[in-house]
Each structure stands twice: as structure tokens, then as C-alpha cells.
Chain A
Amino acid sequence: MAEVTLTGISKSYGAAVALDDVSLIIPDGGFVVLLGPTGAGKTTTLRMVSGLDKADTGMVTIGGRDVASLTPAQRDVAMVFQQYSLYPHLTVRQNLEFPLKSPILQTPRAEIDRKVGAVAEVLQISHKLDNKATALSGGEMQRVSIGRALVREPSVYLMDEPLSSLDAKLRSDLRIELKSIQADSGATMLYVTHDQTEAMTMATHVGVLDDGKLVQFGSPRDIYENPVSVYAASRLGQPRINVLPSDVFGGAPKNATRIGLRPEQIMQGEGEDSFVQRVEHLGDQTRLHLSFKSHDLITVTDAHTTLKEGDIIQIRPDNAFYFDASGARVS
């Protein structure tokens, strides 16, 4: 396994700037998740490390070695894409063995069998090993394509939304599975997603990308509890953080223009009146849609609250975030 560094990486496609001076260290054994909406530069970053694309400027190292002159095959990375591509004429076992049979690796037969068996076990596809790849469900095919990356034990795993085409149940099982595989094997992982639950639950570090720039890098807890900007704050948390003009509550710092309130930063039953517009019982909690001085707010309360549409509830900020006109956090 290996440390991966990106230093001052920029990349443009024609006039469109995809990455703008991105520097990032993926520690050896780290699970780094890149988070951002479509077009933020997540996949481009991945492609820089894999060697599928070349940066305009900047340097990528894997295990301390500058990889600029290396082909994707020589970089010893394994990629998993959102759209699984398996060899349709091969069985699951043959698909999993394929990378190990590469002439560069020369893996002995017994070793191949051991690795394929172990990976199949972990991904719960042992009973399907002799099926044709095309005879599998979508979820199973994606597990095989993850498995094909795992058998290689490369320096770095690169995964591009590998779970987004799976159903909710399988996604939540594989989240735990991937995380424990990574933690047990000490593999270095760079993982791209726009799903905040995946980012929060699996990452050792989250990189937040905004329009080609890396705007924050830290542990999920860091980014959730200590966001550098209104943009970073909006990436994590469900329901999403409420952003209002800073003067609606009073007590804002001098240069703040906006106040950011996660549900847990809204104290209920104290402060000023707000109007309950809608009550959504989600089962484990209840969402309140509030109107406060003609601004909309969403917060959460007990599952069995007696609050109803049309009620008045007092609220006040509790340890809120403040942001300036540019969106940067002010304290």
C-alpha cells in the first residue's frame, strides 16, 4: 500500500477548468472520499491518479514516486466504475481471476484460488462463482467488479460512485463491507461520490470540491462540525443546513451576512415565535417546516411530537455558524 500525493494539479478541457490548483495528500491506509455535486472535479481528480488523463500542471506521486511517465497499468492502481463492465462470456470466477492471470503478475494457481475464494466470501458471491457474469443481477455484477479490483491488492484503489446503481439495502450492506475490507487490509482508497451518507460513514478524510477547487479537507466530523464555508456546510447534514440573513436573530458578529443553522443548532421552546407550516412524520424523527420572519426553515423534533400545522413554536440559535458575504465562515 502507498501514500498518494497531488501537488498543484490543474486541468482544463478546452475553456472549461476542471481542476484548479488542487493539492491533496491521501495517507497510506487512508480512505479519502471526494464529495461535491456534478461537475465539481471529483472524477477528474481520480483520472489524474489513475493515469487515464494527464494534468496540465502539477505532480502526482504514488508511494513517493512521480508517476507522470507511467501508464495506468504501471501505476498499480485498481479502478471500479459506476457502470460495471464485466467480461460477458466469462464466468464470475474467470472474471475475478482475470487480473491475477496478467503476465506481469504471474500468480501461481493455488494463490489465485485462495484470493478469489476469499474475495467471493467477503462479497457474498461464493455460490455464484460458476455462473456466467451475464446471469447475475445488477447488484451482483457490481460486487463482482469490486471483487475484481480487490483480488489484485494494488497500491491504491480508485472508486467512482461504485454503489450508486445499487438498491438502498445492498448499498448500506456494502458500505460497511467496503469500509471493513479497507480497514482490515490497510489499503489506500480514493473514492468519489455525491452521496453524503457514504462520505460520512466510510471516510477517514473527506475532500470537498467546489468548481474544481479543493475547499476543505478533513475528517467527516471536522467538516460537519467545523465547516470553512457555507458551501462546505451544505455538503453534509440531512435535512440540509438552513441559511438565513444574519440579522434575523440578532447577535451576529460584525462582518457576518448569513447565519447557518443545522437542526441541532436551533433551540426549540425558547426565543422568538415561528409558525409551523408543515409537520412530516418520518418515523424515527419528525421534520418541522417553519416560517420565521418570512424565512423558511427546516428542523427536526421528536417522532411523536404533538405539534401540528398552524402551531407557534419559539426558536433561537444555539452555537450557530456565521458566514460573510463571500460565503466564508466567520467566528
Chain B
Amino acid sequence: MAQIHIENVRKDFGSFNAVKSSTFTIEDGEFFMLLGPSGCGKTTTLRMMAGLELPTSGEIYIDGEEVGQKPASQRDIAFVFQMFALYPHMNVGKNISYPLRCQGMSKAAVKKKVGEIAEILGITDILNTPVGGLSGGDRQRVALGRAIVRDPKAFFMDEPLGALDAEFREHMSEELRALHDRMSATTVYVTHDQLEAMQMGDKIVVMNHGSVEQFGVPQDIYDWPATKFVAQFIGSPPMNFLDFNGMIGKGGSEVHLHETTMSIPKSIDGANGALSFGVRPEHVRLDDAAPYRGRVKATEYLGTTQIVTLETANGDLKARVASSDKVTVGDQTGLTFDPRTITLFDAETGAALRSQANEGVLIHG
């Protein structure tokens, strides 16, 4: 297994720039997520790592070796696609053993290896069945088996669960993660589903418009987004932004939001102008006595919690509160925000302002 490092990688398709200069490192044995909306460049990035596309400029290192211009066949990686393509005329065992037989491995060795893989995937009893009649899950397991059987340096997966329905997806994502934990193989996984990324990833890269917006461990990215894009893309409902014109000095820890003073983590650089006050829904509290006011526009029951949509002087806001709290549409209420969790953003560029709380986490690509 291997460490993968990409350095200033860029990809142009004609005049279209698909990936801007990207740099990040995937450590040996990590489950690494490339996350972003469609068209953000995540699949192109993965395909460049795999050798299915060659970068326009920049370097790609697998296990210390620069492979940027090498074809896929010389990189010793395995690729699992969203649409699992199996050989329809072969049975399960033959599909899995195909890469080994191509390498000219002895019959006995192939049999042993396929047996081990089938065991890991729990498909021993269907080794002799044709792939035609298999369920979606079993087909995906066979496709995985064919990837795993070669013991490659890394696994690359492009939305491997995208075609499955929600319930089964949840199950397969757990299975994939457990499989990774048993084999501790370096895995790079592309998805547009933020929950899937949070759930499965050791680390996440968030991409948008061909650029890396943020890179780090899931909880850090959730707590301390580097940009407004990340703050909105991760979390459901997303982070709230209360827009205001104001200032904060170097070392300051208060801002004025519609004539109310709000405490925030100590600012490092200070700022002046159009700002956004970023707060996650679960850090908003409804408190009748609080001076900052909102009007309840809608409530959504979610079992243990409910989402309350409020109108404030600085824009709409969603709060996640206990479903036992009595909240009525049309009511006026006071709002407080947990001061330790606040991020200020430059409203124009969308970049987070550095504070004592997020300083260590804001690593850009």
C-alpha cells in the first residue's frame, strides 16, 4: 500500500480548465474522500491519479515515485466505477480471478486467492453462479472482489454506490468501510454526497469549480469551514449566514449584528466591510429574553429534533432544537448563538476570517 501525493496538478480540456493547481497528500492506508458538486473536477482529479487522464501540468507521486505521465497499467492501482461492469459470460469466480489469470498466475494460487477474497466479501457460496442473475449488491461485491484480488497499491472508486437505493447504500457504505479497515488499503473515493463523505472518510478534500476549497479531517471541516462554499456544502441543513456591514479589530472578539453585540472567537487579522456571521443550526438557541430577534417562518419535525426557519434582520436562519420545544409559526422569539462556534466570512470572497478557533484548521489546497 502507498502514500499518494499530488503537487500543483492542473488539467485543461481545450480551453476549459477542469482542475486548477491542486496539491494534497493521501497517507498510506487512509480512506480519502474527494467531495464536491458535479463539474467540480473531483472525477478528473481521480482519473489523473489513476492514469486515465494525463495532467496538463504538475506531478503525481505514488509511493514516492512520480507517475504523472505513466499509463494506468503501470501504476498498480485498481479502479471501481459507479456502473460496475462485469463480464456477463463468466461466473462470479471467473470474474474475480480474471486479473490474476491475465498475469499468468498458477491455477492453484489463483484458486487460493479467490477463495480468500470471496471469504472477505461473504460471497463464497455464489462463486460458481453466473453474474447475470445477481442482485445489485452482489454485483457490486464481485466488482470489488475483482479490484481487491490483485493487491494493488491503492483503490480508486468513483461514486461506487451512486446507483444503489438509499437503504442499500447505507448498508454497502458500512460494508466498504469495514472492508477497508480489515485490509487498510489506501482508498480514494469520489462522491457528491456530503453525508457519505463525513461518514466514511478519514480525510476529505472539498472541491468547487476545479479548485480545492479545503482539505482535512471531517469534523474539523464541519466545525471550521475555510469558505462559505464549504460551510454550505457540508451539513444538513447547511451553515447559516447572517450578512452585515461591520468591523472587527485585530484581537477583537465582538461584532455588532443589527445593534446587538455578539461574542465570537478572537479575530487574528481583523476586517472591515461586508461580512457574514456563520453559525450552524445546532448552535442557535431560542431564548425569549435575548435581544436579537427572529420571527418563526416554518417548523419541520424530525423525530428527536426539529428544524425551525426564522426571519431575522440579517436574513433567514435555521435552528435545530429539541422537538419537545414548543415553537409556533408566526411567533417572535429571541435568538442566541454559541459564541465558541462562530466563523466570520468575507461576504465578497467567501473566505473565512482567521480566528483563534479556526487558525489551525484552515489549510487550503
Contacts and interface: CB of A to CB of B under 8 A. Distances in A.
B235 A200 contact: no
A265 to B, nearest CB: 10
B219 interface: yes
B129 interface: no
A190 to B, nearest CB: 19
Interface stretch (B286-294, B299-307, B350-358): B299-307
Nearest to B217: A281
Nearest to A177: B298
A201 B302 contact: yes
B199 A284 contact: no
Sorting the interface of chain A by its residue count into under 10, 10 to 19, 20 to 34 or 35 or more gives 20 to 34
A281 B198 CA distance: 7
A304 B235 contact: no
A236 interface: yes
Given A280-B199, A282-B199, A304 B219 contact: yes
A324 to B, nearest CB: 24
A12 interface: no
Contacts of A197: 302
B237 interface: yes
Contact of B218 (A37, A202, A238, A281): A281
A281 B222 contact: yes
A168 interface: yes
A62 to B, nearest CB: 28
B320 A281 contact: no
Contacts of A283: 198, 218-219, 222-223, 234-235, 280
Contacts of B276: none
Contact of B300 (A175, A194, A264, A280): A175
Contact of B298 (A168, A176, A289): A176
A231 interface: no
B109 interface: no
Main secondary structure of the interface of B (DSSP, over half): mixed
Nearest to A303: B219
B7 interface: no
B195 interface: yes
Given A280-B198, A281-B198, A303-B219, A200 B280 contact: no
B309 interface: yes
A152 B167 CA distance: 36
A132 interface: no
A319 to B, nearest CB: 13
A201 B300 contact: yes
A179 interface: yes
Nearest to A236: B303
B103 interface: no
B74 interface: no
Nearest to A237: B303
A75 interface: no
A117 B53 CA distance: 48
B219 A176 contact: no
B282 interface: yes
Given A172-B237, A237-B303, A284 B298 contact: no
B177 interface: yes
B281 interface: yes
A284 B282 contact: yes
A224 interface: yes
A278 B303 contact: no
A180 interface: yes
A221 interface: yes
A281 B298 contact: no
Interface in B307-327: 307, 309, 320, 323
A148 interface: no
B237 A281 contact: no
Contact of B280 (A278, A281, A284): A284
15 contacts: A168-B236, A175-B300, A176-B300, A179-B298, A201-B301, A201-B302, A202-B300, A264-B304, A278-B177, A278-B181, A281-B219, A281-B222, A282-B198, A284-B280, A284-B282
Given A224-B303, A264-B304, A284-B222, 15 more contacts: A37-B167, A172-B236, A176-B309, A197-B302, A200-B303, A201-B300, A201-B301, A201-B302, A221-B323, A236-B303, A262-B304, A280-B198, A281-B219, A283-B223, A303-B222
A-B pairs, 3 with minimum CB distance: A283-B222, A201-B300, A281-B219
